[in-house]
Amino acid sequence: MTTVADKPQDTHQRKPQSRQGKPAARRRLVVIGNGMAGARAVEEILARGGAEQFTITMFGDEPYGNYNRIMLSHVLSGEESDSDIFLNSLHWYQDNNITLHAGVRVERIDRFTKYVFANNGHVVPYDVLIIATGSQSFMPPMDGLYTPSGSVKPGVFTFRTIDDTRNMVQHAQYEHHHRAVVIGGGLLGLEAARGLQSHGIDVDVVHSGGHLMNAQMGPEGGAILRRSVEALGIRVHTGSRTTAVLGTVGTDKVSGVRLRDQPDIDCDMVVVAAGIRPNVDLAVLSGLPVERAIVVDDQLRVLDEDDIYAVGECVQHRGEVYGLVAPLWEQAVVLADHVTGADTSSAYLGSRTATKLKVAGVEVASMGLRGPERETDEHIVFSEPSRGVFKSIVIRDNKMVGATLLGDSRKVAYLTQAFDKGLPLPEERISLMFDLGAPAEDESVAELDDDAQVCNCNGVSKKSLVAVVKGGCNTVAGAMDATRAGKGCGSCKLLVKQVVEWAADGAVEEDPAASYYVPGIPLDKPSLMAAIRKQGLRSVSAVFAALAPDSGEGAKSKMGLASLMKMMLADQYIDERDARFINDRVHANIQRDGTFSVVPQMKGGVTSVQQLRRIADVAEKHNIPMIKLTGGQRIDLLGVPKEDLPQVWADLDMPSGYAYGKSFRTVKTCVGKDFCRYGTGDSTKLGIEIESRFQGIESPAKLKLAVSGCPRNCAESLVKDVGVVAVEGGRWEVYVGGAAGAHIRKGDLLATVDDPEDVKLLTGRFMQYYRQNANWLERTYAFVPRVGIEHIRAVVVDDAEGIAAELDAAMQASVDSYVDPWSERDDPLTPGQFRASLPLTVLPQVPVR
């Protein structure tokens, strides 16, 4: 077979071109499929000077740029927004002079005249063609999948594309939808199940195999995975085949599924994740060699074709078809070497798929054999079902030939390498599974082979990470940006960090910016505070002028500085309104359509007939689209246009509840001893007093408090920034550093005191210490463990540093400078403070219930 580089025209192509001279006729490269493999192949080609050799045209059936398909699981669960998973925006195509036909499907290739035919009538000639059509979901045969017109029944979904994901989310969020059945208990099915749960959907997984993820692990691992998955509240049915999708008679709505030999399961939606099939219709129709997938050689050329290559999930190489991204990164490199002629000796010899995944929040790594196959195979198994940990290693002739690791991925890097390279193994086999004695982290990073892939999602090797570090980038964040390592599923972040630290040889610069209080001023918090004091700075613009490089302001830094200076200077602070985030400029939380929410103060969650009546009147007068009880025990009026805020506040005549700021928010309370038959302390009274005292004080991140009247803890005090619990004997426990939002942490016991006054004192002193020492946006759940509860107790309770009086005085100053921000209704502080920002849109657009 001729290689591209041997062709005469190619030699001509690679002559350097003068910039002014007429560019030599470039060859036409056409790529069918704009998914992960197609786009990556083009990136690799561009990296080898491909832009000078080719005019590039890409066809993609999906109407978008290229996105990270792996991240669809995160989009489904709502952890990522769909706009954040794009790898190449439409700009990238423009910038690289690539003609992208998005939303256009190629239907046929004429390999003799060298044209591709698209479904929109386009006929495009090529000199070199790359097929990267990927796979589609497999629909196992069952009754009731399709409507009489032949389309898939509404309510039945596959999980492959961004559109699939969006449709699922939409369906799952529909009010009356509560239950889903996922068909398939492999990686995709479990990810789908977990994702749907986050929309409040109750999920059953029906799997025809004997155990979950049977393609990656044996029955024992599968059983432990099942426990972990069930512990998440997902019901699992293994060895069950779905025979039909059931529908409500007379509609085409899904009502359940029928299983063989088991009762029907009711549901409102069905997700089919029963495997994938390569997209080969196009290749078959065009007369290319297809077995299980399009057959390619070691150069990724389609068998017996000179100018047609294929890459990704649509190819079969040496009998293997892959369904993960790591192999296709390797393929893309070899393909680009040949297409551009950069390295004509390059060959793809297949991938050993060692996969490291996070499946439904459970760490899973699997490589090679799932279990022993020969009598002489050694099999080492460690199983700890209660923690969801399982490790199995198969050894043959002193080489590792397979491993499964569940729930603990610490040794994965080392094992992957031992597997890839066939390294000799230590005699003491148990050290394959555990780090015995000294922490071997550094060693294991040092041992890691240069070519070892650290980030599987983006195909980043140890070598390339080391290269950017040697190239002068010695911060973890910088190296991640430069290589995209860690920016896929995120399961490798720890390893990335270790590699960068190792490569920088101890000289890892803490990302300098990581220690800055705000990104635009190169100072950590103590130095920043010292500089502000020393230079007598009193406004945010003065801080920028004095301390920012080039004296330039930075939008990203303004809000953090405004908060810090208000905390430090109380009423000495010159409050420049442009330094505030919009929420703090108009004292309300901005909504998705640009309207705002109004949450009046309701101390301790206690209200009155008068308050309720007034709120009802206001809601009626202003046509409030939604009135909602918040998770913080008060009432939220949502969907208020900005220009109506002053009038709404005036009509309410209640103070702000600060539900919008990085500030003290609310104190949840339980009814306490006056009413509750278990109450040992007056939690309501104390909660109200705390809220009255600390209302509105700003802090590096929000502060949410609670007071409970007994250890039953109905106000959830253990998961609050400061949580107070009355205990027997008239005593009060004070917990700090708890949370139950994005992170869940039980607070640490700071002290147990006798007197509610002491509770207030310690609460204030702790909060002041936090305000002075926490990083911007660092909640107490991160601050307390970072500083250590012992240290905090020493300072706050025992006054070990002799600063207690100072802390109390500083807090008192903040308390004294409290002004209800809603009083600005009568006297707006800036021109047009409450003027609409979207003048031509009819607001609100938030749904009206």
Ligand X SMILES: Cc1cc2nc3c(=O)[nH]c(=O)nc-3n(C[C@H](O)[C@H](O)[C@H](O)COP(=O)(O)OP(=O)(O)OC[C@H]3O[C@@H](n4cnc5c(N)ncnc54)[C@H](O)[C@@H]3O)c2cc1C
- Closest by CA to 293, choosing from 256, 263, 320, is 320
> How many Cβ atoms from other residues are within 10 Å of residue 592's Cβ?
8
Q: Per-residue x/- marks for ligand X, 19-38, CB under 6 A?
A: -------------xxxxxxx
The CB-of-528 to ligand SRM minimum distance in angstroms stands at: 22
| Binding region for other proteins (CB under 8 A) out of 173-181, 360-368, 451-459, 584-592 | 584-592
**Residue 458 interacts with ligand X (CB under 6 A): yes or no:** no
- Least Cα distance to 492 among 465, 513, 511 occurs for 465
For ligand X, which residue of 43, 44, 45, 69 counts as binding (CB under 6 A)?
69
Sequence-ordered list of residues with C-beta below 8 angstroms from that of 116, at least 6 positions apart, any chain? 30, 32, 59, 106, 108, 109, 110, 123, 124, 126, 129
CA distance 812 to 335: 68
Q: How far is the CB of 361 from ligand X (least distance, A)?
A: 13
Smallest distance from other proteins to CB 779, Å: 19
Cβ contacts of residue 505 below 8 Å, gap of 6+? none
Task: Please state, in angstroms and rounded to a whole number, the distance separating the CA atoms of residues 849 and 672.
Answer: 34
Closest to other proteins by CB, 590 vs 671, is: 590
Question: Using the rule CB under 6 A, which residue among 44, 82, 220, 313 binds ligand X?
Answer: 313
- CA separation for the pair 612, 833 (Å, rounded): 29
By C-alpha distance, which of 707, 684, 685, 816 is closest to 762? Answer: 707
| CB closest to ligand X, residue no | 35
Give the position of tokens 């193994």.
425
Q: Please report, as residue ranges, which positions from 804 to 833 form the binding site for other proteins (by CB under 8 A).
A: 830-832
In contact, 568 and 529? CB cutoff 8 Å:
yes
Is 573 a binding residue for other proteins by CB under 8 A? The answer is no
* Counts of helices then strands in the chain (DSSP H, E): 28, 40
Query: Would the CA dihedral through 772, 774, 777, 782 be positive or negative?
Result: negative
- Name the one range near ligand X by CB under 6 A: 131-139, 222-230, 396-404, 728-736: 131-139
Q: Does 590 bind other proteins (CB under 8 A)?
A: yes
Burial of 697 (0-12, 13-18, 19+ CB in 10 A): buried
Secondary element (H or E) of residue 170: helix 162-173
| Binding window for ligand X (CB under 6 A); candidates: 64-72, 507-515, 640-648, 751-759 | 64-72
Member of 13, 57, 88, 133 binding ligand X (CB under 6 A): 133
Q: Which does 34 bind (CB under 5 to 8 A by kind): ligand X, ligand SRM, other proteins, none?
A: ligand X
Shortest Å, Cβ 770 to other proteins: 25
- DSSP for 740-759? ESSSEEPPEEEEEES-HHHH
CB closer to ligand X, 359 vs 567: 359
From ligand X, other proteins, ligand SRM, none, interface partner of 704 (C-beta below 5 to 8 A by class): ligand SRM
Restricted to residues 711-750, the positions that interact with ligand X (CB under 6 A) are: none
Report whether 755 contacts 797 (CB < 8 A).
Answer: no
**Dist. CA 338–CA 384, nearest whole Å:** 49
Between 460 and 645, CB nearer to ligand X? 460
Residue 406 partner contact from ligand X, ligand SRM, other proteins, none using kind-dependent CB cut-offs of 5 to 8 Å: none
Q: State which H helix or E strand residue 421 sits in.
A: helix 412-421
Instruction: Give which of ligand X, other proteins, ligand SRM, none residue 526 binds (C-beta under 5 to 8 Å, depending on kind).
Output: none
Report residue 532 CA to chain centroid gap. 36
Nearest approach, Cβ of residue 824 and ligand X (Å): 48
Whether the CB-CB separation of 471 and 464 falls below 8 Å is answered with no
Please, which residue, 242 or 589, has the CB nearer to ligand SRM? 589
Within 13 A of 32's CA, how many CA atoms are on the CB side? 30
Query: What is each CA distance from 536 to 86, 521, 527, 528, in whole angstroms?
Result: 46, 17, 14, 12
Residue 628 binding target from ligand X, ligand SRM, other proteins, none, CB below 5 to 8 Å by type? ligand SRM
CB of 72 or CB of 466, closer to ligand X: 72
Strand segments, DSSP code E, in 680-747 are: 703-708, 722-727, 731-736, 739-740, 744-745
Can you tell me the distance from the alpha carbon of 693 to that of 601, in angstroms, rounded to the nearest whole number? 13
Q: Does 170 bind other proteins (CB under 8 A)?
A: no
Please report, as ranges, the residues that interact with ligand SRM according to CB under 6 A.
Answer: 589, 591, 597, 599, 628, 630-632, 634, 636, 659, 665-666, 668, 704, 739-743, 779
- Beta strands 596-598 and 589-590 are antiparallel
**DSSP states of 629-670:** E-TTSSEEEEEE-GGGHHHHHHHH---B--TTSSBEEEEEE-
Rule CB under 6 A: is residue 73 a binding residue for ligand X?
Answer: yes
How many chain residues bind other proteins (CB under 8 A)? 36
By a kind-dependent CB cut-off of 5 to 8 A, residue 312 interacts, out of other proteins, ligand SRM, ligand X, none, with ligand X
- Residue 555 C-beta: closest distance to other proteins, Å: 4
Which CB sits closer to ligand X, 328 or 811?
328
* Helix H or strand E segment including 482: helix 476-483
Q: From ligand SRM, ligand X, other proteins, none, which one binds at residue 589 (CB under 5 to 8 Å depending on kind)?
A: ligand SRM
Number of shown-chain residues binding ligand X (CB under 6 A) = 38
Site string for ligand X, 169-198 (x = CB under 6 A): -------------------x--x-------
Distance CA(313)–CA(289), nearest Å, equals 15
As a dihedral over the C-alpha atoms of residue 339, residue 341, residue 342, residue 346, rounded to 10 degrees, the angle is 80
Specify the stretch interacting with other proteins by CB under 8 A; choose among 136-144, 475-483, 551-559, 772-780.
Answer: 551-559
Nearer to ligand X, 404 or 695 (CB): 404
CB of 79 to ligand X, least distance (A): 13
Q: With b meaning 16 or more CB within 10 Å and e meaning fewer, what string describes 130-168?
A: bbbbbbbbebeebebbeeeeeeeeebbbbbbbbebbeeb
Measure the CA–CA gap between 216 and 186, rounded to whole angstroms: 9
* Contact call for residue 513 and other proteins (CB under 8 A): no
x/- string (CB under 8 A) for other proteins, residues 528-547? -------------x------
Residue 578 in the binding site for other proteins (CB under 8 A): yes
**Of residues 329-368, which lie at the interface with ligand X (CB under 6 A)?**
357
With CB cut-offs between 5 and 8 Å by kind, which of ligand SRM, ligand X, other proteins, none does residue 592 bind?
other proteins
Rounded CA-CA distance 544/535 in Å is: 12
Nearer to ligand X, 312 or 681 (CB): 312
- 309-317, 331-339, 665-673, 745-753 -> range binding ligand X (CB under 6 A): 309-317
Which residues here bind ligand X, judged by CB under 6 A? Answer: 32-38, 59-62, 69-70, 72-73, 105-106, 132-135, 159-160, 188, 191, 279, 282, 312-314, 323-326, 328, 357, 456, 489
Q: Which residues bind other proteins (CB under 8 A)?
A: 81, 83, 86, 89, 91, 541, 552-556, 558-559, 576-579, 581-583, 585, 590, 592-594, 642, 830-832, 835-841
